[in-house]
A and B are shown apart, each in its own frame.
Chain A
Amino acid sequence: MNELHHSGLTNAAMIACIVAAATIGDVMIASAMRQIGDLDDIKAHAGLLGAIKAVITNTRFFCGVAAMAVSFFSLLFALSHADLSLVAPASASLTVVTNTIAGKVFLKENVDRRRWLAALCVCFGVALLAR
C-alpha cells in the first residue's frame, strides 16, 4: 500500500490534477485581467480601492479563483505524499506548457517561436526533474 502511494503513477495523477485545475484558473484569471485593463492605470485614476473593486466584481475572475482553489487543495494533498522538490517544480513547469497552449488557443496571445522553444525547454526540464 505504501509502495502504491509513492509510485510514479500516483505522483503523475496528483500532479495532473494540480496542472489541469491551475491551467483553467490561470486562463480565466488572465482573461479577466485583460478585460479589466492595466491595474496601475486604474489605481492612478480610482485609487487602490477602485482597483480592488474592479477585480473582485469581475465574474470571470471568481471562476478562475475557484479553479485555483481546487488546484491548491490538490497541491496540499500531493505534498502530504510526495517530495516538495518533485511536486512543486513539476506542477509549476507543466502548467507553463499547458498555459502556452491555452494562451495561444483561448487568449489569442502571440506565442512566437521563442515562447514555444521555452515551453519545449520546460518540458525537458520537467522530464529531468521527475527522474
Chain B
Amino acid sequence: MTFRRYLVLAFVSVAAPLGDTFLDVGMKSIGPVSLTHITTLFHAVSTPWVLAGIVMLIGFFASYLTALSWADLTFVLPATSLGNVVVALLARFWRHEDISLSRWAGIFLITAAVGFVTQGPSYTEHEKPLPARDVEEVY
C-alpha cells in the first residue's frame, strides 16, 4: 500500500458521509415520501442539496472503483467505515441530531474493526492456471 492509495481510501471515507448528509438536508426539506407518491423521489433529484449529495457520491464512487481495482472488497469496505464517524459528527454538529452514548460506543466499535482489517493484507492473489508446458515440468 502506497501513500497515494491511503489517500484514495481517505477520500472514500470523507466523500460518502458528506454526500449522505447533503442528501439528508435535501430529503428533510422535501418531507416524508409515501409509497403512493413514490415519483417524488425522482423530483427530489433536481433539488440543490440532493444534487450536491449526488456529486459527492459520484466522487466517492470513482475513488471506490479505483480502490477496488487494487484491493479486496473485504479490505476496502471496513476501511471506509471510518465514514460513520464523520456522519456522526456531521449529524451531531450540523444537523443537531441527538447521538446517545450507546451510538457513540457503536461508532467506536466500528472504527476499531477498521483498525483490525487495515493491519492485514489488502489483496488476495488468485492462482492463475499454469500453461500446459509448465504443468508437465512440475509433474
Q: A83-B97, A88-B87, A125-B106 are contacts. A26–B73 as well, Cβ < 8 Å?
A: yes
Main secondary structure of the interface of A (DSSP, over half): helix
Distance of A37 Cα from B71 Cα, bound (Å) = 10
For chain B, the bracket of interface size reads 35 or more
A89 in contact with B106 given A39-B66, A96-B77 (CB within 8 Å):
yes
Q: Are B121 and A77 in contact (CB under 8 A)?
A: no
Question: A102 CB to closest chain B CB, in angstroms?
Answer: 8
Q: Which residues of A contact B109 (CB under 8 A)?
A: 121-122, 124-125, 128
The answer for the CA separation of A36 and B66 in the assembled complex, in Å, is 11
B30: chain A residues at CB < 8 Å are 80
Contact with A along B84-112 (1 / 0, CB 8 A): 10011001100101011011011111101
User: Do A80 and B68 touch (CB < 8 A)?
Assistant: no
B78 within 8 A of A: yes
Query: Chain A 43-75, CB within 8 Å of chain B: the 1/0 string?
Result: 000000000000100000000000000001101
In the bound complex, do residue B41 and residue A77 qualify as a contact, i.e. CB atoms below 8 Å apart?
Answer: yes
B74 engages A80 (CB within 8 Å): no
Q: Is the Cβ of A125 less than 8 Å from the Cβ of B23? A: no
B51 to chain A, nearest CB (A): 13
Knowing A85-B103, A126-B106, say if A109 contacts B72 (CB, 8 Å): yes
Question: Which residues between 61 and 116 of chain A lie within 8 Å of chain B, taking CB atoms?
Answer: 72-73, 75-77, 79-81, 83-85, 88-89, 92-93, 95-96, 99-100, 102-104, 107-112, 114-115
Q: Is the CB of B17 within 8 A of A88?
A: yes
Query: Contact residue range for chain A?
Result: 35 or more
Interface residues of B in 99-139 (CB under 8 A from A): 99-100, 102-103, 105-110, 112-114, 116-117, 119-121, 124, 126
* Contacting pair B69 A37 (CB below 8 A): yes
Report yes or no: B24 in contact with A84, Cβ–Cβ below 8 A. Answer: yes
Distance to closest chain A CB from B47 (angstroms):
11
Closest B residue to A36 by CB, please name it: B69
A27 close to B41 (CB less than 8 A): no
Select which of B32, B100, B121 is within 8 A of A81 by beta carbon: B32
Assess whether A85 is in contact with B97, with CB atoms less than 8 Å apart.
yes
Interface residues of A (CB under 8 A from B): 5, 26-27, 29-30, 33-34, 36-40, 55, 72-73, 75-77, 79-81, 83-85, 88-89, 92-93, 95-96, 99-100, 102-104, 107-112, 114-115, 117-122, 124-129, 131
A and B contact pairs by CB, cutoff 8 A, 6 listed: A84-B21, A84-B87, A114-B120, A115-B78, A125-B107, A131-B102
Identify the 3 closest CB pairs spanning chains A and B, nearest first. Answer: A128-B106, A121-B113, A125-B109
